[in-house]
Amino acid sequence: MQRVYLDNAATTRLDPEVLEAMLPWMTDNFGNPSSIHGHGRIVRSAIEKARKTVATLLNTSPSEIFFTSGGTEADNTAIRSAIETYGLTHAITSPLEHHAVLHTLQHLAQQDTIRLSLVRIDAKGNVDLTHLEELLRTHPRSLVSLMHGNNEIGNLLDLDAVGALCNQYDAIFHCDTVQTMGHFRHNLQALKTDFIVGAAHKFHGPKGVGFLYVNANNRIHPFIYGGAQERNMRGGTENVYGIIGLAKALEIAYRDMDEHRRHIESLKQRMIDRLHEKIEDVRFNGNSADLSNSLYTVLSVSLPPSDISDMLLFNLDIAGISASGGSACSSGTNVGSHVLSALPGIDPDRGNIRFSFGKYNTAEEIDFAVDTLAGIYQKEAKLA
C-alpha cells in the first residue's frame, strides 16, 4: 500500500547526507569528549566544529550556542533559568504556545514562583501587540515567551516588533523557534532576542538533540547540573553523533533553503487549490492558507461538520496517509488541540487536520491525499 507522510511538523525524515556524517561518530570515533586523551580530544574537536557551524549559519558567536536534548529542554532551560537567575516575578505568553512553554510557565505560576499573563490573540490567532505593550507597561522586566511559527496553525510572529517592545520595557525575550529553524534564515546579530531554540529532527536531522542560543548579554544558571559539559551550562555527556547530525542538517537546510521553500510552497498551494475544488465549505485555520504570512510547511484544514469528523485521522491512516489533528506532542490523547480551542469562533463540530510538508513530498502525494480525503467525505454523504 502507498504510504504518504504529511506530518513533517511532528518530525522529518533523516537526510541521507546527515546519516553519512553521523556514522563515523557512532563507530570509530567513540571517545568521551570530556576525556583529555587522544580519543576524547578528537570528539571534543568535532563538537566544537559543529558548534561553530551552527553559530556561523545563525550569524552569532559559538560561545552563545549550547547543545541540549531537544527543543523541550532548551525551552525549559531558557524559561526556568532566566526566572531563577534574574529573580523575575512575572511572565507573559500566549494561549497558543507549545506545551513545552505553556505547561512550564503554568507550573511555575501554580507554585507562586511567578505571576503569568496571557496576551490576547485575534480570531486568526495573531498576537495582539497593543495588548502586549499594555502588559509590559504594567509589568516591566517580565519574561516574554512567544513562538516564532505556530506548530499547528502556522502563524508567524513579528520578531522585530516583539523584540523592540521587550527592549523598550527591559523584558527578557525567549522565542521558541523550533518550527522555523532550518526553514527560515535567522540573523541573531540583528534579532533582539535573548533566547531561541532549535531541534534537529524538525529539519531532517536526528531526534533527541537540539540547541539553545543564549545572547552574550545574559548569564543564566544551568538547568541540568551534574558536570562541566557545555561550558558548565548543561551537565551530562554530550550526544556526540546527534550534535554532528544537527550541524550537518542545519548546513544542508541553509544550503538548499530557497529551492526547498519554492518546492514546499508549491505543494501547499496545490493542496489549498485542490481542497477547494474537491470539498465544499473547506476552510483553513489561522493564517495557514496565506502563503505570504505563514509557516510554509504547515496547513491547518477545517472540514465541514459530519458524523466522521472524529474519525478523519483514523480513516486517513487506514488509507496510508499520515497527518495530525494538531500538535503531535498531544497525539494519542483524548484532549483536543489547545491551540484550536483558544481561537475565537472555531466550530467544535468541524473536522480539523494539520497537514505539514517537507522536501521529500511530491505533487502526486498531495493529489492522493486530497482525493482520498474527498472520497471519505463522498462515502459518508452516500451513507447519510
**Looking at residue 189, which CATH number applies to its domain?**
3.40.640.10
Same structural domain, 60 and 87? yes
Q: In the listed set 221, 252, 283, which residue is the last one of a domain according to the structure?
A: 252
Measured at the CA of 358, the angle between CA 202 and CA 145, to 5 degrees, comes to 40
Same structural domain, 153 and 41? yes
pLDDT(327) > 60: no
* SS3 annotation, the chain: CCCEECECCCCCCCCHHHHHHHHHHCCCCCCCCCCCCHHHHHHHHHHHHHHHHHHHHCCCCHHHEEEECCHHHHHHHHHHHHHHHHCCCEEEECCCCCHHHHHHHHHHHHCCCCEEEECCECCCCCECHHHHHHHHHHCCCCEEECCCECCCCCEECCHHHHHHHHHHCCCEEEECCCCCECCECCCCCCCCCCEEEEEHHHHCCCCCCEEEEECCCCCCCCCCCCCCHHHHCCCCCCCHHHHHHHHHHHHHHHHHHHHHHHHHHHHHHHHHHHHHHHCCCCEECCCCCCCCCECCCEEEEEECCCCCHHHHHHHHHHCCEECECCCHHHCCCCCCCHHHHHCCCCCCCCEEEEEECCCCCCHHHHHHHHHHHHHHHHHHHHHC
Range 285-307 average pLDDT: 94
Same structural domain, 26 and 77? yes
pLDDT(128) > 80: yes
Range 296-308 average pLDDT: 91
Question: How confident is the model over 140-161, as pLDDT tens digits?
Answer: 999 999 999 999 999 999 999 9
Which residues make Cβ contacts (< 8 Å) with residue 100, sequence separation at least 6?
71, 72, 75, 76, 176, 329
CATH number of 295's domain: 3.90.1150.10
pLDDT(265) > 60: yes
166 is catalytic: no
pLDDT band at 371 (very low <50, low <70, confident <90, very high): very high
Range 334-339 average pLDDT: 78
Structural domain count, the chain: 2
Q: Which entry of 42, 109, 329, 342 is annotated as an active-site residue?
A: 329
Question: What pLDDT, on a 0 to 100 scale, did the predictor assign at position 348?
Answer: 82
- Percent of residues, the chain, with pLDDT higher than 70: 96
pLDDT(77) > 80: yes
pLDDT band at 123 (very low <50, low <70, confident <90, very high): very high
pLDDT band at 383 (very low <50, low <70, confident <90, very high): very low
Same structural domain, 228 and 334? no
Question: What pLDDT, on a 0 to 100 scale, did the predictor assign at position 307?
Answer: 78
Same structural domain, 161 and 242? yes
pTM value? 0.94
pLDDT band at 232 (very low <50, low <70, confident <90, very high): very high
Residue predicted with more confidence, 329 or 170: 170
Domain span holding position 350 = 4-12+257-383
Question: What pLDDT, on a 0 to 100 scale, did the predictor assign at position 384?
Answer: 44
Distance CA 9, CA 379 (A): 29
Neighbours of 36 (CB within 10 A): 9
Distance CA 200, CA 188 (A): 18
Same structural domain, 281 and 204? no
Same structural domain, 211 and 317? no
Same structural domain, 87 and 218? yes
Distance CA 150, CA 173 (A): 17
Question: How confident is the model over 16-67, as pLDDT tens digits?
Answer: 999 999 999 999 999 999 999 999 999 999 999 999 999 999 999 999 999 9
Same structural domain, 262 and 247? no
Same structural domain, 297 and 374? yes
Q: In the listed set 193, 224, 252, which residue is the last one of a domain according to the structure?
A: 252
Question: What pLDDT, on a 0 to 100 scale, did the predictor assign at position 305?
Answer: 87
Range 260-276 average pLDDT: 98
Q: In the listed set 252, 282, 310, which residue is the last one of a domain according to the structure?
A: 252
Same structural domain, 206 and 301? no
Measured at the CA of 267, the angle between CA 308 and CA 285, to 5 degrees, comes to 45
Question: How confident is the model over 347-367, as pLDDT tens digits?
Answer: 888 889 999 999 999 999 999
pLDDT band at 129 (very low <50, low <70, confident <90, very high): very high
Range 298-304 average pLDDT: 95
pLDDT band at 198 (very low <50, low <70, confident <90, very high): very high
Question: What pLDDT, on a 0 to 100 scale, did the predictor assign at position 336?
Answer: 77
pLDDT(137) > 80: yes
Same structural domain, 43 and 177? yes
Average pLDDT, the chain: 94
